[in-house]
Amino acid sequence: MEHKLSDRAMLVKPSATLAITAKAKAMKAQGIDVIGFGAGEPDFDTPRHIKDAAKAAIDAGFTKYTPTPGIPELRAAIAEKLGRENGVNVTPEQVIVTAGGKQALYNTILALVNPKDQVLIPEPYWVSYVEMVNLAGGKPVIVKTTGFRPTAQKILAKINNKTKLLILCTASNPTGMLLTRDDIEAIAAVCKEKGIYVISDEIYEKLIYEGEHCSMASLPGMQDLVITINGVSKAYSMTGWRIGYAAGPKDIISAASRIQDHSTSGANSIAQKAALAAITGPQDEVARMKHEFKIRRDLICERLNRMRGVSIKKPQGAFYVFPNVSKLFNQKIPDSNALAAALLEEAKVAVVPGAAFGADKYIRMSYALSVENIIKGMDRMDEWIKKSYRTL
């Protein structure tokens, strides 16, 4: 029997990233040796001192509801971190702790977006932005980029009297592109002039291999317009712990907290203690993981660069490459979905089709896997291309 789902539910597409990861996992469970470039999570274990903090929290009986916007010491630690590392000066009351960066984004979007409000999203975009805006009843407006960079001019061209919000992601998922301070200053100037709010998704901030991260909220006059999103998932290899946060103007954060009051309440108590240890404790594991990721990035870029029909822009951050594979399209494989399906079926390599990110000429490959597996996966892909495209 087909049930009468809400219009809202019908509008939401399943996450292509999670779908490809689930399919690759199912194939692995059947004994098929799949190399997964799909997952958006570090493959490292969570650092020991963070796990110890969680164990200590359990042993101390810290297992009850917490205040909706987070335990005071974690909110204070996040506010302190934002001031010290990012030049974003906020009080603990301007911080909300959430179940992952995803919930920070979703609550903020729900707090800001009215039905029919327009939300600017540069493409290629992270899959969930569009769906979150749709769920809030807003209208996603896609902004074209140049070399994966959204420019102030292109953003300005899309602004009208219905535009409420811009969502920026630096370093970017899916491209790994890092916005420079100049880029961010130019975009901030446009948003300030037009009174457009900005969600600045900085979840990959700790994984930048060249260049420097710049937080838009640190720029003069932007504190009132920018909501900074971050979390511990990617920096501390804590994807399953589900702790993220949003920081911004007090009334927006309070609204996000009221929304959280009636949906999920405070984030997991034990995970909050773990996140506190992550943010306030030693950072050498972060440096170690970043070093590993850089080695992998260089390796995968070097291999993809040499592959027929594939061209790449070397990313500066995150743990993704976003190669252009449109030269591999033909009658049998007309788009990125078909290419990802063929790579999975025939080469046993899992990648995410670029179409999911609004960029059908591309595929996204995560390099959050061992060097050995990257080499194995690259060998498979290379052989498959040589075999399938003899004339390229």
Ligand X SMILES: Cc1ncc(COP(=O)(O)O)c(C=O)c1O
For residue 231, state whether it binds ligand X (rule: CB under 6 A): yes
CB of 158 to ligand X, least distance (A): 21
Q: Which is nearer to ligand X, 218 or 366 (CB)?
A: 366
CB of 258 to ligand X, least distance (A): 20
Q: Segment near ligand X (CB under 6 A), from 62-70, 99-107, 325-333, 380-388? A: 99-107
Q: Segment near ligand X (CB under 6 A), from 96-104, 139-147, 159-167, 178-186? A: 96-104
Q: Is 345 exposed, middle or buried (0-12, 13-18, 19+ CB in 10 A)?
A: exposed
Q: Which is nearer to ligand X, 204 or 380 (CB)?
A: 204
Q: Which residues of 312-325 are buried (b: 16+ CB within 10 A; e: fewer)?
A: bebbbbbbbbbbbb
Q: Segment near ligand X (CB under 6 A), from 98-106, 157-165, 182-190, 263-271? A: 98-106
CB of 104 to ligand X, least distance (A): 8
Q: Segment near ligand X (CB under 6 A), from 29-37, 100-108, 280-288, 291-299? A: 100-108
Residue in 183, 201, 205, 285 binding ligand X, rule: CB under 6 A: 201
For residue 203, state whether it binds ligand X (rule: CB under 6 A): yes
Helix axes 250-261, 100-112, angle to 10 degrees: 110
Q: Which is nearer to ligand X, 50 or 169 (CB)?
A: 169
Q: Segment near ligand X (CB under 6 A), from 4-12, 94-102, 213-221, 344-352? A: 94-102
Say how many residues touch ligand X, by CB under 6 A: 13
Q: Is 225 exposed, middle or buried (0-12, 13-18, 19+ CB in 10 A)?
A: buried
Residue in 39, 96, 169, 267 binding ligand X, rule: CB under 6 A: 169
Give me the 6-45 binding string for ligand X, x by CB under 6 A, dash otherwise: ----------------------------------x-----
Residue in 107, 108, 233, 260 binding ligand X, rule: CB under 6 A: 233
Q: Segment near ligand X (CB under 6 A), from 95-103, 135-143, 281-289, 348-356? A: 95-103
> Looking only at residues 300 through 359 of this chain, which bind ligand X when binding is defined by CB under 6 A?
none
For residue 150, state whether it binds ligand X (rule: CB under 6 A): no
- Say how far apart CA 219 and CA 205 lie, in whole Å: 17
Residues in contact with ligand X by the rule CB under 6 A: 40, 100-102, 126, 169, 173, 201, 203, 231, 233, 239, 244
